[in-house]
Amino acid sequence: MGISSFRELRVWQLGMELTERIYRLTADFPKSETYGLSSQMRRSAVSIPSNLAEGHGRNSTKEFLQFIAIAFGSICELETQILLSHRLKYIETTDLETTLALLTETSKTTRGLQKALKAKFGDRG
């Protein structure tokens, strides 16, 4: 039996955990970043599980793979923003390490899903 809901996808669950973490971290950012880096990080984070959910809901593997690629782009974007936040001293080193570890797990799981779908369905999606 296949996965009937995107909520069953481990990668979506990781994306939600990462998004929640980003929201908590950015809550402590300076007020001057409310519409800047904080907002951008939240949008990038939300984009990850959102695109995975939307892609899963599409009618083809090809479309799902496109949304996985978008989610992966958001992962890379978010990593850059996290590193910048640390450089600006908005995120402490311990929070940086914990967040990057979760981001890395999310990234690897996303790539794994992408490779598995490509191997199973190729260009037939």
Answer with the residue of higher pLDDT: 46 or 121. 46
Residue 64, φ and ψ in degrees, nearest 5 = -60, -45
Topology, domain 6-121: de novo design (two linked rop proteins) (1.20.1440)
Structure tokens at 7: 């909520």
Counting Cβ atoms within 10 Å, is residue 79 exposed (0-12), middle (13-18) or buried (19+)?
Answer: middle
pLDDT for res 123? 55
Q: How many C-beta atoms lie closer than 10 Å to residue 69's C-beta?
A: 14
The pTM of the full predicted model, rounded to 2 decimals, is 0.93
- What is the structure's pLDDT at 119? 93
- The per-residue pLDDT for range 44-68, each reduced to its tens digit, is 999 999 999 999 999 899 999 999 9
Residue count (the chain): 125
Q: What angle do CA 47, 25, 44 make, to 5 degrees?
A: 15
Q: pLDDT tens for residues 85-97?
A: 999 999 999 999 9
